[in-house]
Structure 1
Amino acid sequence: MIKAYRSNCEAISLSADQSVTQISDDIVWIDLINPDRAEETLVEKALGVELPTREDLKDIEPSSRLYTEEGNVFMTGSLVWNANSNDPRLTDVAFILAGNRLVTIRYAEPKSFNLFTAAITRVPHEMRSGAALLLKLLETIVDRTAEILENSVVGIDTVAAGIFGEQARSKRKAPRYLEDKIADISAYHRLISKVRDSLASLARLQSFLQATPNVQQDKEAKETGRSIGRDIQSLSEHASFISGNLTFLLDAALGIINVEQNAIIKIFSIASVVFLPPTLVASVYGMNFNVMPELQWSYGYPLAVVVMLVSAIIPFIFFRWKGWL
């Protein structure tokens, strides 16, 4: 699918069966979403630019992701996609500055693009050039990344309260309670890792874009690019801080599990010590000696039972007094 946007913010759709002459000069943004080969050919003929394929976008070499060719600027950035689900992913998006136009190629629909297209009609003056449009799009992407981090912080605070809060103490006895918390921590860690990878990719992209003539010759665009760079750096630091908190929560949860397991083992150890004297008494009277006066007593059996109970109760009281239980 091909969506195109004119300088007056009018959105139109293009199809592969249309003539290349239908891409008019006032179109400043061409957005290719899951394009097939026919749609790629249409845009290539209209702009005289060879577009990168889906396989090209997966290349991690800097020379393949950020380069200039015949005056056109080719950039590939990794964006967080599906962040609100249990399966966050990174999707590679190509940003191409071909003359005064911006061309984007993507095989997913990150929320930042939907937010940008919804708000684009409110800022028509930003459609003056492809470079200015790209910078505003990057601003939206960075804002969306900040939103993801903010939502993650709220969720992580909830997990922390579940581990250390007052209500958590009674729930810990429930089966797999802390195991579920570890699963939540793992999910947040995976999301934050994706965000950090995306921010690293955006930082490289912003630095490369900042050095291009498209930005250097526009004072306002140059300042906007610097602001985006500062935002990316601050978000990267914030993501590192959140990652450190997640590591602490994981260590704390594992520590609590270890303490509770040690307490259970302690109980079993004490129980074995408590029942050791009764076992000794039962073993003595279970021996087949010919001379054992207690065997002839009428109250020999009740006496043996009482002795076993007393020998079990006395160690139990002693352990409670020492605070071992």
Structure 2
Amino acid sequence: MIKTYCLENGGGELKVSEPPEALSSGLIWLDLVHPSKEEEALAERLLGIDLPTREELKDIEPSSRLYVEDGAAFMTASLLWKAESATPQLADIAFILIGNRLVTIRYAEPRSFDLFAASLKRQHSKCREGRELLARLLETVVDRTAEILEFGVAKVDDLSVHVFVDRKAASRRPPGFLEDKLLDIASHHRLVSKARDSLVSLSRLVSFVRSLPELRKDSEANSLLKIVARDVQSLAEHAAFIANNITFMLDATLGLINVEQNAIIKIFSIASVVFLPPTLVASIYGMNFHFMPELSWSFGYLYAIAAMIVSAVVPFLFFRWKGWL
């Protein structure tokens, strides 16, 4: 699908239309969403350049992601999408500046593009060139990333409330509660990790765009990109802070699991020590020797039972006195 954004009536109205047969002077944005082979060929014919394929967008070398060719600046960034799902992903999206037009190629649908398109219809007079359009689109992408990180912070805070509770509440936890929380921690870590990767990619793209001669001459677009660069840097630091909190949460949860396991092992150890003396008494009087003085006692059986009870109670009271129970 190809979406075209054109300024009409002297820039007073923004119109979203289907792919044209020829480029008009008011066309400022050509958005290719899951383009087919035919749509790619049409866009290449209209623009007069070779567009990167889906496989080429996955290249990680800087020379394949950021370069200038045939008078057009080709840039590829990895943007975060499916952030609300259990498996957030990175989508490789191409941004191409050719003349006064912006061309985007994407095989995913990050929410930031829909937000920007909606705001563009309301504030179309602020974007009359592709360079400024790119700057504002990147600003929206960064704002969306900030929103995702805020969502991650809220989830981590909610998780910490469930993990760090008082002793009485902890005793009422169902079996395997903390083990299940490890999966939640892993999910939050994946989200923040993907956001950090996206911010690194955006930082490289913004630095490249600002180095373009035509961008340095555009004071308004350059000032917007400068703000975007500062926002990316601050969000990267914030994401690192969140990642440290998640690491602490992981270590703390593993520590609590070890504490619970040690408490269980301690109970079994004390129980074995408590029942060891009665077992010894029962073993002695269970021997099949003919000459045992206690065998002829009238109260020998009661004596053995009492000896077993006393030998069990004394260690139990000793452990209570030491505070081990």
- Deviations 1:90-133 (CA, angstroms, capped at 9, x unpaired): 00000001111100000010010111111111211222100100
Structure 1 residue 220: deviation in Å?
Answer: 1.1
| Alpha-carbon separation, structure 2, partners of 1:127 and 1:234 | 26
User: What residue in structure 2 maps to residue 202 of structure 1?
Assistant: 202
Check conservation: 1:9, 1:127, Cα contact below 8 A: no
Q: What amino acid sits opposite 2:117 in the alignment?
A: T
Check conservation: 1:4, 1:30, Cα contact below 8 A: yes
Structure 1 residue 292: deviation in Å?
Answer: 1.5
Secondary structure of 2:73's counterpart equals: strand
| Alpha-carbon separation, structure 1, partners of 2:184 and 2:72 | 44
1:9 maps to 2:14: yes
- Deviations 1:203-237 (CA, angstroms, capped at 9, x unpaired): 00000001112321111111111000000000000
1:170-181, aligned counterparts within 5 Å?
170-172=171-173, 174-181=174-181
Check conservation: 1:77, 1:93, Cα contact below 8 A: yes
| Alpha-carbon separation, structure 2, partners of 1:25 and 1:251 | 59
* Structure 2 portions without partners, runs of 5+: 8-12
User: What residue in structure 2 maps to residue 155 of structure 1?
Assistant: 155
Name which of structure 1's ranges 289-298 and 309-318 shifts more when overlaid on structure 2: 289-298
- Deviations 1:273-313 (CA, angstroms, capped at 9, x unpaired): 10110011001101112222322233322221121111101
1:1-325, aligned counterparts within 5 Å?
1-7=1-7, 8-14=13-19, 20-21=21-22, 23-166=23-166, 168-172=169-173, 174-325=174-325
Structure 1 residue 163: deviation in Å?
Answer: 1.1
* Structure 1 portions without partners, runs of 5+: none
| Runs of 4+ with deviation above 4 angstroms | none
| Alpha-carbon separation, structure 2, partners of 1:94 and 1:171 | 52
Check conservation: 2:80, 2:195, Cα contact below 8 A: yes
| Alpha-carbon separation, structure 1, partners of 2:34 and 2:214 | 27
Check conservation: 1:91, 1:108, Cα contact below 8 A: yes
Q: What amino acid sits opposite 1:163 in the alignment?
A: V
User: What residue in structure 1 maps to residue 10 of structure 2?
Assistant: none
- Deviations 1:226-257 (CA, angstroms, capped at 9, x unpaired): 00000000000000000011111100110111
Distance 1:132 1:40, change over 3 A: same
Distance 1:248 1:31, change over 3 A: same
Name which of structure 1's ranges 195-204 and 119-128 shifts more when overlaid on structure 2: 119-128
| Alpha-carbon separation, structure 2, partners of 1:170 and 1:318 | 25
- Deviations 1:35-56 (CA, angstroms, capped at 9, x unpaired): 0110001011011011000001
Check conservation: 2:49, 2:70, Cα contact below 8 A: no
| Percentage of identical aligned residues | 59
- Deviations 1:247-275 (CA, angstroms, capped at 9, x unpaired): 11100110111111111111111111101
| Alpha-carbon separation, structure 2, partners of 1:171 and 1:178 | 12
- Deviations 1:2-28 (CA, angstroms, capped at 9, x unpaired): 0110123211122xxx6x32x322111
Distance 1:190 1:25, change over 3 A: same
| Alpha-carbon separation, structure 2, partners of 1:221 and 1:105 | 21
Distance 1:168 1:246, change over 3 A: farther
| Alpha-carbon separation, structure 2, partners of 1:168 and 1:88 | 32
| Alpha-carbon separation, structure 2, partners of 1:141 and 1:52 | 21
Structure 1 residue 168: deviation in Å?
Answer: 4.8
| Alpha-carbon separation, structure 2, partners of 1:170 and 1:108 | 46
Secondary structure of 1:128's counterpart equals: coil
User: What root-mean-square deviation, in Å, do the aligned CA atoms of Structure 1 and Structure 2 show?
Assistant: 1.2
Check conservation: 1:162, 1:168, Cα contact below 8 A: no
Secondary structure of 2:18's counterpart equals: strand
Check conservation: 1:49, 1:98, Cα contact below 8 A: no
